[in-house]
Chain A
Amino acid sequence: MSSRETRNFGAPIRRNEDRKLLTGKALFVDDLEIPGMLYAALLRSSVAHGELISVDVSAALAREGVVAAYTAHDLGDFWQPGPLLVPPPPIEGVIFNLRTHACLAKDKVRYVGEPLAIVIAESRYIAEDALADIAVEIEQLPAVVDLEAALKPGAALVHDDLRSNVSAHVRQKNGDYAAAAAKAAHIIKRRFAYEHGISSPMETRGVVAQWDERAGQLTVWDTTQAPVFLRNGLAAVFGLSERQVRVVAPFVGGGFGPKIMMFYPEELLVPWASTRLNRPIKWIEDRLEHFVATTHERGQIHDAQIALDAEGRILGVKDVFLHDTGAYDPYGLTVPINSQCTLLGPYVIPAYDSTFTAVFTTLPIVTPYRGAGRQHGVFVIERLLDIAAHELKIDPAEIRRRNLIPPDAFPYDNKIIYQDFAPLSYDSGNYEPILNKALDAIGYAGFKDEQKKALSEGKHLGIAIANYVEGTGIGPYEGARVQVQANGRVSVATGIGTQGQGHFTVFAQIVADQVGCLVTDVDVVTGDTDRFHWGAGTFASRGAVVAGNAVNEAALVVRQKILKLAADHFECAEEDLELGNGEVQIVGVPGRSVRLSELAMKANPMRGAVKPGTEPGLESTQYFGPPGGATASGVHAMIIEVDPELLTLEIKKYVVVHDCGTVINPLILAGQIHGGVAQGIGNAFYEKLLFDDAGQLLNASLADYLLPTSLDVPRMQLEHTVTPSPLNPLGIKGAGEAGAIPVGPLFAQAIEDALGLKAKGIELLEIPLSPGRLWQLITQAG
């Protein structure tokens, strides 16, 4: 690349997509207005567990403005339990009882919020009115809410045909924990409870479906993170060919995981009703519905132990945990497998023995939410190390340092299987410099003095530090098509959905560098299956890694085509040419240049013979599939002040040092980390899904389930180290989830430190904490 060529890759480029969003011109699903459109509303179970005796929609049908109302019995053969989204990984001895939901409950209800009927009406208001007309008879059964009670003999069964409430049972091990424990100087055993909440994107879910009978074409606009998957799934259940179904994920107002479950009942019911009524139909979830109708992540209980030598080196870890999977398990084992794998962190753990049981409960379905179970595992290992540090009288940062995987040990094989079915192997990393940077930035060395001084003024300061790794950018593959158009603009299409990650800009940066145009001259399309119909979706921090590399491959081929054509044009060697400013120029000869627009037209001639084997246009479609996930890592550090009476806290300083390989756009990366930390703070201290014994969610509104506000999230200081991934040509690793993962243990550690809880024999072994919960824990102990 010559000096005239630009380098947008790595620069803090402002986003291409902003203008539309800032001026109110971006299309979100609920913005669609189609003539003749009808509106759907769903009646949902108000009971967590019961035999469904009857659902009578006749009074609803009689209401003026109601066009149709359907129950499970009206669906005929269309009524089917849904597909398994992610099959269980090939682990020896795995037990997996697959029970997926149908779009409307037929014989039994299994969680509050499970759909019972759908009403279609001339307006949303009428559709919602009509829900009150429906008569439902349910014979209530005991709810299954508590994970341990659910496994006791005699517990009510969520799925009667299974003999227990076990959804899955998996054991993975490496080395011999018993032998490690036998030679250990110290063994620490604790029980941990970690709950993650609901992702709660600011836009709820929505589906608009339009069946066009004349064209034989079904179009579905959906707030999905995986439009191509959904298109394939819809084609299968409707018996259509894939090209008859178009799924569009337009601008989507945040996702964070749950917008990728397939199928949500509405994703089937709304298109189905559209084919029956031959009218476009819109369904938009309201916020109260969202709390039960969109998936959660929720809780795990870990009984964990760590064996250490006298110097605090880990000899082994044993963990047995329960995982709440909710009423159905369409997402397979992704969340608990992530917990199992991510527990290992950046540490050398010679012996590991981990067993989990996923448990059916009569609560909403659990699927991944940003972090996707990684938080749970990180909490366990980080807390175990904190306790070990205290008992062995080693500094918490020092015990972590002693156990880090050394830089020459990569690729590092953990000898267990990850969620992508590949062995859990860390591709690259260099952990100690990250820890050092974080300790420097937070002022670790001088903190003890600061803390003493503050305490003498009645202020309770606490410090914390936590490590994590994050498996990112997993396969299978993504693709992209890049094309130089006749007006000189470059179009890029890829199959992933986008929910604010800046894909319109980062992909444009990659392309602009390859073809020599402005970032603002690149138009990126994501999430429209008619524009690009191959791909998997946006999850597991993989968009930038996998699709980004596909974009790069396609842009490289287009670059070669441009050079070849321009060399023909000038009758010179390709080496004598350089790309930039939307044109190709002969090196050192200003004025001897040709615009990309002109070359694009030349590549698509109207007359004249074309050589056999040539393709028209400056266009290429390429695919990229990484051999394995790229492992990002980092350290968060925090100083807080806790009010010892009210147990409220203020974050004084927050530092993130992160290594996600080569950075495409530091501005966008910072945004991803800020947002992740904010969600982590919510998870650690504010957000708890509160269910009663009957399985009712008690805080299903944004007034009661507290998302962090601008007063709760501090200014953060971000630092980076760069260890490029060898698994993809751009060297990038994903960054979408890193901010959220280690915040729980950070809070527990900092609060213990601020209030001197360890000295009082109080340990914080659960998340979320809140002032109320802290008060209970402290007074119970005292």
Chain B
Amino acid sequence: MTDSHTIAVTVNGVRTEKSVEPRLLLSDFIRHELMLAGTHVGCEHGVCGACTILFDGFPTRSCLMFAVQADGHEIATVEGLSKGETLHPLQQAMHDSHGLQCGYCTPGILMTMSAFLDSNPSPDEHAVREALSGNLCRCTGYQHIVDAVLLAAERMRT
């Protein structure tokens, strides 16, 4: 009944081939086919940013794409952010600044803001808030996340 397509995707540096239904969301593919459940879904309609991954290096909402569209592309998820036991500077700063409570929004924020820091090494608070404004967090009131991003920027510069 369902037709399926074989797709090849490089995820966190590892190439995988899978056969998927054309309507399978990229977020579901990542979470339930690749079993990388660190990418969360908060709305599945493109507003909350929890599902953000890097698609060919750009922060992208995986709930707004189909898995088949990722064929031949590169994806990075939160699982690939740390280097072994060493946390990415933004992960470390989130820990140090208490930038997470329930942690549900956190993976999307880490992917959005780590990419932001790569292109904006010296942001001011307003720039951080602008960049963060597409990711909803219901727990923290954002202040400690903003602190974490600024702290990570400072540490990454030195």
Contact = CB atoms under 8 A, between A and B. Distances in A.
Interface of A: 14-15, 17-28, 30-31, 33, 64, 124-125, 199-204, 251-254, 256, 286-288, 499-502, 667-668, 670-671, 673-679, 701-703, 707, 709-711, 713, 715-716, 739
A254 B139 contact: yes
B98 interface: yes
A501 B32 CA distance: 28
B40 A203 contact: yes
Contact of B106 (A21, A499, A716): A21
Interface string B16-58: 0000010110001001100111111111111110100000000
A203 B138 CA distance: 10
Contact of A671 (B41, B77, B132, B139): B139
Contacts of B50: 202
B78 A24 contact: yes
A715 B103 contact: no
Given A287-B45, A710-B146, A711-B129, A18 B77 contact: no
Interface string B113-148: 000000000000100111011111111111111100
A201 B79 contact: no
Given A254-B104, A256-B138, A710-B133, 11 more contacts: A14-B95, A22-B94, A28-B104, A202-B104, A202-B105, A253-B104, A500-B103, A674-B143, A675-B138, A677-B141, A678-B140
B96 interface: yes
B125 to A, nearest CB: 8
Interface of B is mostly: loop
Nearest to A672: B101
A200 B48 CA distance: 11
B47 A23 contact: no
Given A677-B141, A702-B136, A707-B136, A499 B95 contact: no
B45 A703 contact: yes
A286 B104 CA distance: 15
A221 to B, nearest CB: 13
Contacts, number: 180
Contact of B138 (A25, A27, A64, A707): A707
Size band of the interface chain B makes with A: 35 or more
B44 A287 contact: yes
Contacts of A709: 132-134, 136, 142
A113 B79 CA distance: 36
Contacts of B136: 202, 702, 707, 709
Name the residue in B35, B129, B141 with the highest tally of chain A Cβ atoms < 10 Å from its Cβ: B141
A674 B82 CA distance: 28
Contacts of B105: 202, 253
A402 to B, nearest CB: 32
B106 A710 contact: no
Contacts of A671: 98, 101, 139-141, 144
A710 B138 contact: no
A713 B79 contact: no
Nearest to B79: A24
Given A22-B91, A675-B140, A253 B38 contact: no
B141 A678 contact: yes
Please name the 6 residue pairs, one residue from A and one from B, whose CB atoms are nearest each other, closest first.
A24-B38, A253-B104, A500-B102, A21-B103, A674-B141, A500-B101
Given A24-B77, A33-B32, A201 B104 contact: yes
Contacts of B59: none
B8 interface: no
B81 A23 contact: yes
B136 to A, nearest CB: 5
A203 B144 contact: no
Nearest to A125: B23
Nearest to A665: B98
Contacts of B94: 18, 22
Given A671-B98, A710-B145, A200 B138 contact: yes
Nearest to B107: A24
11 contacts: A18-B95, A18-B100, A199-B138, A254-B139, A287-B42, A667-B98, A673-B141, A674-B140, A703-B46, A710-B132, A739-B141
Contact of A711 (B45, B98, B104, B130): B130
A499 B105 CA distance: 13
A679 B45 contact: no
Contact of A253 (B23, B43, B103): B103
B141 A22 contact: no
Contacts of A15: 95, 98
A715 B125 CA distance: 10
B156 interface: no
A709 B133 CA distance: 5
A702 B36 contact: no
B14 interface: no
Q: Which of B21, B100, B139, B144 has the most CB of A within 10 A?
A: B139
Contacts of A22: 78, 82, 87, 91, 94-95, 100, 103, 106, 110
B47 A702 contact: yes
Nearest to B95: A18
B101 A502 contact: yes
A83 to B, nearest CB: 28
Contacts of B133: 709-711
Contacts of B44: 286-287
